[in-house]
Structure 1
Amino acid sequence: MKVTRRASLVVLLIVLLGGMLFAAGSEYTVVKGDTLWEIAKAYGVDWKEIAELNGITDEFALQVGTVLKIPEAYTEISVMIPNIDHEIPAVICIPNGDGPFPLVVMLHGTGSDKNEAGGGYLLAAPALAKAGIASVRFDFIGNGESTADYINYNFTSAVDDTNIAFAYAASLPRVDGHRAGIMGWSQGGTIALLAAGQNPAYKSVLCWAGAPDLSGVGSLEAYEIAKQNGYYELTFEWRSPLKLGLQWFDEAYGTDVLQVFSNSSAPVLAINGSEDTVVDPVNAQRIVDASRNEKSKVLIIEGADHTFNIFTGDMTAFNQLIEATVDWFSKTL
């Protein structure tokens, strides 16, 4: 059966837990040979939910050309999580159903936000939800919807925000905080490794182009400027500059990320693209070598760059990335 989605989405917004909950749905046009069960399976929902939503009383009498409203397999909650002197903008994606569901904390990279490059996490979170896995993604200090000053972002603040976001999501009724994983892209992978090495609550780890060494982001020359000014201005082609604070440099140069991660007993899947020129793919093996878990492994996606080709229009590599991510957490949580 071929599934085709219409561009229009039915979006329901309701106030929940101090935030906004988005229950998105799509539409499907019945073609010859379709069954309600097959359609439901393709979308990861119960066929009875489709029948109820569309007023279908005879599931064997589908008419070709009928446009069915499809309920989504998840809901998303947009919240602001308090953390002492700032708030953490976050989105929690929870599968529909009774649960409790395992949880994955998703960490973004340098200069990005909770939805990640090319909307990468907008694709990953629903994919996890359809596999019965909840997730929380959030903006680090000074990124996305965060109103805090990026100059205060550093390893310590990032790990702290990570643990606060995890604790918030894990406290929700249909979430099982005892089955928690953590993942990060690029510098988000750095923070994921640090958080896992310091917090045994994370039972599984995954890195998308994880960077155990960030000297490429902040050079020694930039470090010297930060010592003089209190910060170094980091520029990007796709967004406004960010001020890397002196504490970030002190921690980036003074922290053995892999040594910290070696304290974790969780398995790690380190994924890199073979054509990544930002984070050398050899770092995937370095991460696995630092792990104490024999189930840890490396996955190199051939032909993929640092963003797994999400901006090229060819989604082959990114789809492989999503599939590997869902499979990893399904098996380890």
Structure 2
Amino acid sequence: MERQITIHHEEQQIAASIHYPAQCAKKEGRCKDRAPLVVICHGFVGNRIGVDRLFVKTARELAAEGNIVVRFDYIGCGESSGDYGREDVDSLIAQTRAVLDYGLSIGDIDPTKVTLLGHSLGGAIAILTAVRDRRVKNLVLWSSVGYPFSDIVKITGRKVYDASVKNGSADYLGYGFSPAFFESLGTYQPFQEAIKFSGDVLIVHGTSDDDIPVDYAFLYQKVFWTRPEGRCDKEIIFQGNHTYSSGEHQDQLLQKTKNWLGGLEATQNDWLNWMI
């Protein structure tokens, strides 16, 4: 079952979709009757549908595996109210936490299985949110941004940034970007903050990503491996582009993600059995 909702955040309305599992998979443990929660964070000037309906497909497949999935539009994107280019990174983090608030209030959520799945800039926002919100237990990072300012300016072109600083706003794909948006990107370093997250992480990247270098996947894994706790797994999709825009690459992406999320429960059960 799917339901369209509106989440109120300050004076804005965040449009979101909730996907409920047809039935919860048979589980063991004290939260066996509760479902894992996955929140999908889209990327720069994106929306909750995703390129080639990627996030719709993802949400439906993860729900079929027994997860409750929430996908949403950041303020000023998709069907949400507001102006995306007038927000900043702090706002994107706060919006993500507001969606987490809603997701965890649905009921029958397993608090030990709360995952943020972020694509591109959404991956960086997922990391920054997770290190500030202990309710997030797992991260799935698809083609994640590593250096927000330089990565996004590379996408928009330097002229857009310069025009924003000079004129107070600059157009990119119909969005008006303020200097504050760009400045906020430069104040955060996900590679440096990633070490503060103690949960489990899956990193996925395509080798033909022309927007965000596949090298970032290896750098992120190296950072996450330096932590005293929490596992980190990496999957590289050969010839996959930034949005995994072929049926074969989408299938690989979703299968690897489902297998990893499903494997977390098996690992946790093995650990509990070992402790007993």
TM-score by length of 1: 0.71
String of CA shifts for 1:242-300, please: whole Å, max 9, x gaps: 12222221121121122222211012111111111111000011112222245202211
More strand by share: 1
Q: Does 1:332 align with 2:267?
A: no
- Does the CA contact (< 8 Å) of 1:81 and 1:165 recur in 2? yes
Cα deviation for residue 120 of structure 1 reads 0.3
> Paired residue for 1:290?
223
Q: Does 1:184 align with 2:110?
A: no
The CA distance in 1 between the partners of 2:50 and 2:62, in whole Å, is 16
Code of the residue aligned with 2:13 in structure 1: it is: E
SS state of the match for residue 140, structure 1?
A: coil
The CA distance in 2 between the partners of 1:295 and 1:187, in whole Å, is 22
Question: For structure 1, which segment, 117-126 or 301-310, has the greater mean C-alpha deviation from structure 2 after superposition?
Answer: 301-310
Among 235, 246, 252, the alignment partner of 1:320 is: 252
Measured at CA, do residues 223 and 331 of structure 1 come closer, stay the same or move farther in structure 2, by a change above 3 Å?
same
Q: Identity of paired residues, percent?
A: 25
Question: How many residues were matched structurally?
Answer: 250
Among 127, 148, 152, the alignment partner of 1:217 is: 152
Code of the residue aligned with 1:278 in structure 2: it is: D
Question: For structure 1, which segment, 123-132 or 172-181, has the greater mean C-alpha deviation from structure 2 after superposition?
Answer: 172-181
The CA distance in 1 between the partners of 2:105 and 2:23, in whole Å, is 17
Q: Does 1:80 align with 2:6?
A: yes
> Paired residue for 2:66?
132
The CA distance in 1 between the partners of 2:43 and 2:145, in whole Å, is 10
Among 150, 169, 182, the alignment partner of 2:103 is: 169
Cα deviation for residue 225 of structure 1 reads 2.7
Cα deviation for residue 153 of structure 1 reads 2.4
Among 245, 264, 269, the alignment partner of 2:202 is: 269
Q: Does 1:194 align with 2:194?
A: no
String of CA shifts for 1:162-219, please: whole Å, max 9, x gaps: 1111110111123224420101111111111111121121111011111111313225
The CA distance in 1 between the partners of 2:138 and 2:263, in whole Å, is 10
The CA distance in 1 between the partners of 2:164 and 2:111, in whole Å, is 39
Following TM superposition, the consecutive aligned residue runs of length 4 or more in structure 1 with deviations greater than 6 angstroms are none
- Does the CA contact (< 8 Å) of 1:271 and 1:300 recur in 2? yes
- Does the CA contact (< 8 Å) of 1:154 and 1:245 recur in 2? no
- Does the CA contact (< 8 Å) of 1:140 and 1:153 recur in 2? no
SS state of the match for residue 202, structure 1?
A: coil
The CA distance in 2 between the partners of 1:138 and 1:316, in whole Å, is 25
Code of the residue aligned with 1:259 in structure 2: it is: Q
- Does the CA contact (< 8 Å) of 2:114 and 2:136 recur in 1? yes
> Paired residue for 1:120?
54
- Does the CA contact (< 8 Å) of 1:198 and 1:263 recur in 2? no
- Does the CA contact (< 8 Å) of 2:199 and 2:230 recur in 1? no
Q: Which residues of structure 1 form unaligned runs of 5+?
A: 1-74, 236-240
SS state of the match for residue 151, structure 2?
A: coil
> Paired residue for 1:300?
236
Measured at CA, do residues 147 and 305 of structure 1 come closer, stay the same or move farther in structure 2, by a change above 3 Å?
same
> Paired residue for 1:94?
20
The CA distance in 2 between the partners of 1:242 and 1:185, in whole Å, is 20
SS state of the match for residue 89, structure 1?
A: strand
TM-score by length of 2: 0.85
Q: Which residues of structure 2 form unaligned runs of 5+?
A: 25-32, 266-276
More helix by share: 2
- Does the CA contact (< 8 Å) of 1:204 and 1:332 recur in 2? no
The CA distance in 2 between the partners of 1:290 and 1:233, in whole Å, is 35
Code of the residue aligned with 1:79 in structure 2: it is: I
SS state of the match for residue 217, structure 1?
A: helix
> Paired residue for 2:273?
none
- Does the CA contact (< 8 Å) of 1:141 and 1:152 recur in 2? no
The CA distance in 1 between the partners of 2:106 and 2:193, in whole Å, is 29
- Does the CA contact (< 8 Å) of 2:52 and 2:245 recur in 1? no
- Larger radius of gyration, structure 1 or 2? 1
Equivalence map 1:211-250=2 (5 Å): 211-214=145-148, 215-218=150-153, 221-235=159-173, 241-250=174-183
Q: Which fold has the larger relative contact order, with Cα–Cα distance below 8 Å and residues 6 or more apart in sequence?
A: 2
- What is the Cα-based RMSD across aligned positions, in Å? 1.7
Q: Does 1:251 align with 2:197?
A: no
Cα deviation for residue 221 of structure 1 reads 5.0
